[in-house]
Amino acid sequence: MGGEAGKRAAAEAAAALVEAGSVIGVGTGSTVNHFIDALPGRDCRGAVSSSEASSARLRELGIPVLDANEVDGLALYVDGADEVNRHLQMIKGGGGALTREKIVAAMSDRFVCIVDAAKRVGVLGAFPLPVEVIPMARSFIGRELARLGGRPVLREGFTTDNGNLILDVHGLEIAEPIRLERALNDLPGVVTNGLFALRPADLLLVGSEGGVERVER
């Protein structure tokens, strides 16, 4: 069991962690969609969402979507990942929601990452690293990313929920994720990048053949 069945199993295990009456943080993507679908009946009071897509799905199921500015903090954030290593550091942003995801993750006491087994890697970087950039900085940042050894490719026809562009950086073997996350965020014009190393997950739920594996940090 990998793929969709693995994603669903991990998502359902995360839904069991939602406390009755709580407000939770909700990420974005196909794995999180399974999590959202498992929320009805769990008495979730509301959600702070990381994307317009997740907000729409939550509302369809009758779960109130709250403005991030209306809550002081969140006990739990549940989100997927494109890659995750043994330190529970991740590459995220395959769906382009990285900036809002990083904000909601930072607001949360506990980050639960849900993946199928194919997302686990030894070294991050085979998945192209998404970098959200302000449009006027696109070429400048592209040159800087090339100088750092990557091959940036503009995500054609895509605009983030924040009105910005995504450069997907190929060819990076990320030996020091924290250092690279900081270095990229220091470039003027970068909104954020898809490395979640400064704030890794606290609990990883991996859906696979044998059920759901729990990995605590």
Ligand X SMILES: O=C[C@H](O)[C@H](O)[C@H](O)COP(=O)(O)O
Sites of contact with ligand X (CB under 6 A): 27-31, 79-82, 92-98, 101
Residue 23 or 32: which CB sits closer to ligand X?
Answer: 32
Minimum CB distance to ligand X, residue 195 (Å): 11
Residue 139 or 155: which CB sits closer to ligand X?
Answer: 155
**Which residues on adjacent β-strands are paired with residue 115?**
206
Closest to 149 in 3D by CA, of 122, 119, 188, 176 = 176
**C-alpha distance from residue 121 to each of 12, 41, 117, 127 (Å):** 23, 34, 9, 10
Residue 79 or 144: which CB sits closer to ligand X?
Answer: 79
Phi-psi region of 192 (alpha: psi -120 to 50; beta: other; left: phi over 0): beta
End-to-end Cα distance, the chain: 24
94 annotated among ligand-binding-site residues: yes
Catalytic residue among 83, 101, 144, 181: 101
Closest residue to ligand X, judged by C-beta, is 29
Minimum CB distance to ligand X, residue 162 (Å): 12
Minimum CB distance to ligand X, residue 188 (Å): 23
150 annotated among ligand-binding-site residues: no
* For helices 3-15 and 30-37, angle between their N-to-C axes, nearest 10 degrees: 50
The CA-based angle 83-132-63, given to 5 degrees, is 70
Q: Which residues contact 39 (CB under 8 A, 6 or more apart)?
A: 15, 18, 47, 58, 61, 63
Minimum CB distance to ligand X, residue 129 (Å): 12
Residue 23 or 100: which CB sits closer to ligand X?
Answer: 100
* Cα separation, 44 vs 190, whole angstroms: 35
Residue 50 or 63: which CB sits closer to ligand X?
Answer: 50
Closest to 10 in 3D by CA, of 215, 217, 165, 151 = 215
93 annotated among ligand-binding-site residues: yes
Closest to 204 in 3D by CA, of 104, 87, 125 = 87
Minimum CB distance to ligand X, residue 95 (Å): 3
28 annotated among ligand-binding-site residues: yes
202 annotated among ligand-binding-site residues: no
79 annotated among ligand-binding-site residues: yes
**Is 101 an active-site residue?**
yes
Residues making up the annotated binding site are 28-31, 79-82, 92-95, 119
Query: Which residues are catalytic, by number?
Result: 101
Residues making up the annotated binding site for substrate are 28-31, 79-82, 92-95, 119
